[in-house]
């Protein structure tokens, strides 16, 4: 703290010392009487260089706005030798006085040129239309109904050919083959959606009735036929033979034998045949969009007598 205060007040202490020396010089020049009009003996007058040097320092002090109050001893007498010694001390003080900073020039009348940089708010890029169709599964070898929700035409392509071109806000039935993916295009935007492989249908024939004579078999359900498929609407099912069928559900049928209406007809039909007698029916399933998925299976009724 002491060093800090010494740093702050040391320049002013030196200035006061300079003023004190100046007053001493004046007293030496004029004697104990402060009346400056009195003329001293030329031998006691200090050199002009001393006075000029003092004046330079005093002008600098006044330029700083410092007007100190100084108390002096008017009875003291100083000689030229005393002034020479004081001037030597003054030169040493001169080295310790910090330089006076140059005044700051402020041009009050000149307008201040303030540059305002305009910050432009970036405009977000226009959201691109992604040509996607949600909530639909594209199945190979089937027909899918697709709606175009966009304001431009939706084009579907696969394997280099156009599957459909759907106008805005309209729907269309699109038939797929074995394409592995379908490209949806709206304007300059597009998206690719994979297709799902289709499973071939299966036929399940379960025996539900007992055996016995032909009359017993023909009076009850003998078999239940079930078509196993994830897309039964794509299938065409036929059950042929000397039977009657009753459809229980879209994929289930009950089958009853209806071979002969009388014992005479039975005798005529079995002539030349050996027991056990057999009558069969055929279940045929065809896929409308893929002939390779067509399957068939045979069911057999067995009896020994009328």
10 Å CB burial of residue 249 (0-12, 13-18, 19+) is exposed
Are 21 and 72 contacting, i.e. CB atoms less than 8 angstroms apart? no
Give Cβ neighbours of residue 4 (< 8 Å, ≥ 6 apart): none
Q: Supply the pLDDT for residue 209.
A: 80
- Residue owning tokens 């003998």: 222
User: What's the mean pLDDT when you consider all of the chain?
Assistant: 77
**pTM for the full predicted model:** 0.53
Cα–Cα dist 88/86, whole Å: 5
Cα–Cα dist 112/117, whole Å: 16
What confidence tens digit (pLDDT) does each residue in 231-253 have?
A: 899 999 999 999 999 999 999 99
Work out the average pLDDT over 193-213: 91
Buried b (16+ CB within 10 A) or exposed e, 12-21: eebbeebbeb
Q: Supply the pLDDT for residue 144.
A: 87
Q: Supply the pLDDT for residue 116.
A: 57
Q: Is the dihedral of CA 57, 61, 62, 68 positive or negative?
A: negative
Are 43 and 80 contacting, i.e. CB atoms less than 8 angstroms apart? yes
Q: Supply the pLDDT for residue 101.
A: 56
Work out the average pLDDT over 81-93: 67
- 82: pLDDT confidence band, cut at 50, 70 and 90? low
- 5: pLDDT confidence band, cut at 50, 70 and 90? very low
């Amino acid at each position: 703290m002491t060093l800090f205060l010494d740093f702050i007040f040391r320049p002013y202490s030196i200035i006061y010392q300079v003023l004190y020396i100046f007053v001493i010089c004046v007293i030496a020049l004029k004697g104990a009487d402060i009346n400056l009009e009195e003329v001293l003996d030329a031998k006691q007058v200090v050199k002009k260089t001393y006075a000029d040097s003092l004046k330079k320092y005093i002008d600098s002090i006044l330029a700083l706005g410092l007007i100190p109050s100084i108390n002096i001893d008017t009875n003291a007498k100083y000689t030229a030798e005393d002034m020479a010694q004081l001037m030597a001390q003054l030169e040493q003080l001169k080295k310790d006085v910090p330089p006076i900073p140059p005044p700051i020039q402020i041009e009050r009348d000149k307008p201040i040129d303030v540059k305002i940089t305009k910050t432009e708010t970036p405009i977000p890029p226009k959201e691109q239309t992604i040509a996607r169709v949600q909530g639909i599964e594209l199945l190979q070898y089937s027909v899918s109904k697709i709606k175009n929700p966009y304001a431009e035409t939706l084009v579907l392509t696969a394997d280099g050919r156009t599957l459909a071109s759907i106008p805005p806000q309209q729907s269309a039935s699109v038939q797929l083959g074995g394409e592995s993916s379908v490209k949806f295009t709206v304007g300059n935007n597009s998206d690719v959606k994979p297709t799902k492989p289709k499973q071939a249908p299966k036929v399940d024939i379960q025996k539900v009735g007992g055996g016995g004579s032909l009359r017993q078999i023909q009076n009850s359900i003998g078999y239940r036929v079930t078509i196993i498929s994830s897309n039964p609407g794509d299938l065409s099912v036929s059950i042929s033979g000397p039977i009657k069928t009753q459809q229980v559900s879209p994929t289930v049928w009950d089958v009853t034998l209806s071979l002969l209406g009388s014992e005479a007809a039975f005798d005529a039909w079995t002539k030349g045949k050996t027991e056990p007698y057999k009558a069969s029916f055929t279940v045929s399933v065809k896929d409308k969009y893929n002939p390779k998925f067509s399957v068939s299976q045979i069911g057999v009724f067995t009896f020994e007598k009328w």
